[in-house]
Structure 1
Amino acid sequence: MAEAQRIESASSSSSLNSSFQDTEEDHTLASILAQKENSQADNRLGKRLSHLDSIPHTPRVNGEIPDVNDATLDHGRLSQRLVTYDLAELQMEGDGNCQFRALADQLFRNPEYHKHVRRQVIKQLKHFRKLYEGYVPMKYKSYLKKMKKSGEWGDHVTLQAAADRFGAKICLVTSFRDTCYIEIRPTDNNSTKELWLSFWSEVHYNSLYATADVPSAAPKKKHWLFF
């Protein structure tokens, strides 16, 4: 009996520590976002594409990866669009985390926080299941389990969850033949925060900047942020 009580006590302590750690991470996140709010509000990239119509965004899981010929054509189309609007990509690693790396770069100016961004997106998907479940053509728990894994490709469902979680409009410049520009709007439509990504269809995401402002290299993770 004493042993059982000890195990139960240790389990409760572990659960409390985990909850405390999550709360601390959320506080850190809020602090960082607050510090960056002014620079985000001053984002002028939207003016360059303000004349373009954005199609209504429908969250969806990833489709088939295009063959080499189609992928090459798509990449050329995306590159030309970026040149047209004087935009440049900060290249993300192609390790399966590129969507979350690009979001982390836009949020924190550091793609190395991609694990934290993924955790926040999973929390959103888990806690607000009814908002997203209808867009997932598989058992929702299986989808969450898969998407929690580092290296699992993000999709348009995770983009919507990220927009909702971080209260930001996600602006995609795409390689789609008939769609240059897509906006993923958060539940809070009053947000002025914008996150800019390029999307090489079903292949890769990068972080977008005005050509004159693109960083020369991605910064390293700061050891004191424990993400």
Structure 2
Amino acid sequence: MSEENVYARQSSSSSSCHGSEESITIATILSKEICENGSLGKRLSHLDSIPHQPRVNGEIPDQDNATLDHGMLLERLTMYGLAEFQIEGDGNCQFRAIADQLFRNPEYHRHVRKEVVKQLKIYHNLYEGYVPMSYKSYLKMMKRSGEWGDHVTLQAAADRFKAKICLITSFRDTYFIEITPKDQVPSNEIWLSFWSEVHYNSLYAADDVPARVTKRKHWLF
């Protein structure tokens, strides 16, 4: 039986998997609304992106380079009329930022991490070639709350949530990366800023940053 058929069978026979698929559908609806309201896709449609190469995290830059990189990122965001919704820096920032874009609530980061790890585990053949360590150890590491996400988990999130992830970065050689789901037409968009090897935030149009109060958890937990 193929991995796809195994996955379909598991989804249809498990109530928890059914809940996951329901949450992904809700995420699609909410993130579509965010994209349409903020018009980020239209606003930045002229930008050229580079092909995404999944990879694990590199070295954290020293303080001087990190400060320079952060200034460069802020200049780019200002240039394109974007602003960051600040995400807590507790090691879960990538998953929190994705949760904010998908569910309008960073506190759903545990659910996002769970779905990403599930994607990495079931479709391991798509990702293990990018991981320079034991893949079993990598999965065990990524299950842990507080473990930093990387560009492999970004690809897995794009695949799992059928989303195009648009990344404005502080990289000096490029500033716009698009991560598209493999062999799927994206049904929504996720906009993130990436302070290279340091932090992720959730992006909005500068005049549309939410004054968000964390919503009560309900259907995910």
TM-score, structure 2 as length reference: 0.88
Q: 1:175 aligns with which of 170, 184, 189?
A: 170
Q: 1:75 to 1:38 in 2, by over 3 A?
A: closer
Q: State the distance in 2 between where 1:52 and 1:34 align.
A: 24
| Count of aligned pairs | 209
Q: 2:49 aligns with which of 49, 54, 58?
A: 54
The residue number in structure 2 matching 1:36 is 30
Contact 2:98 2:106 in 1 (8 A): yes
Contact 1:163 1:170 in 2 (8 A): yes
Q: State the distance in 1 between where 2:133 and 2:191 align.
A: 29
Bigger radius of gyration, 1 or 2?
1
Q: 1:96 aligns with which of 80, 91, 95?
A: 91
Report how far residue 41 of structure 1 moved: 5.8
Q: State the distance in 2 between where 1:181 and 1:91 align.
A: 19
* Matched residue SS, 1:25: helix
Of all paired residues, the percent bearing the same amino acid is 66
The residue number in structure 2 matching 1:26 is 20
Contact 2:23 2:220 in 1 (8 A): no
Report how far residue 25 of structure 1 moved: 2.8
Structural mapping, 1:166-205, within 5 Å? 166-205=161-200
Report how far residue 209 of structure 1 moved: 0.2
Q: 1:38 to 1:96 in 2, by over 3 A?
A: closer
Q: State the distance in 2 between where 1:34 and 1:61 align.
A: 27
Are residue 63 (structure 1) and residue 58 (structure 2) matched? yes
Runs of 4+ in structure 1 over 3 Å off: none
Q: Decide which moves more: 64-73 or 33-42.
A: 33-42
Which amino acid in the other structure matches residue 177 of structure 2?
A: I
Which amino acid in the other structure matches residue 195 of structure 2?
A: W
Gaps of 5+ in 2: 1-12
Contact 1:88 1:214 in 2 (8 A): yes
Q: 1:210 aligns with which of 195, 201, 205?
A: 205
* Matched residue SS, 1:151: coil
The residue number in structure 1 matching 2:81 is 86
Q: Decide which moves more: 66-75 or 182-191.
A: 182-191
Are residue 115 (structure 1) and residue 102 (structure 2) matched? no
Q: State the distance in 2 between where 1:167 and 1:39 align.
A: 15
TM-score, structure 1 as length reference: 0.86
Gaps of 5+ in 1: 1-18
The residue number in structure 1 matching 2:129 is 134
Report how far residue 20 of structure 1 moved: 4.3
Contact 1:74 1:201 in 2 (8 A): yes
Q: 2:72 aligns with which of 72, 77, 92?
A: 77
Q: State the distance in 2 between where 1:80 and 1:118 align.
A: 30
Which amino acid in the other structure matches residue 156 of structure 1?
A: H
Contact 1:113 1:221 in 2 (8 A): no
The residue number in structure 2 matching 1:224 is 218
* Matched residue SS, 1:137: coil
After superposition, what is the alpha-carbon deviation per residue over 1:124-175, rounded to whole angstroms, capped at 9, x for unaligned? 0000000000000000000000000000000000000000000000000000
Contact 2:163 2:189 in 1 (8 A): yes
Contact 1:112 1:220 in 2 (8 A): yes
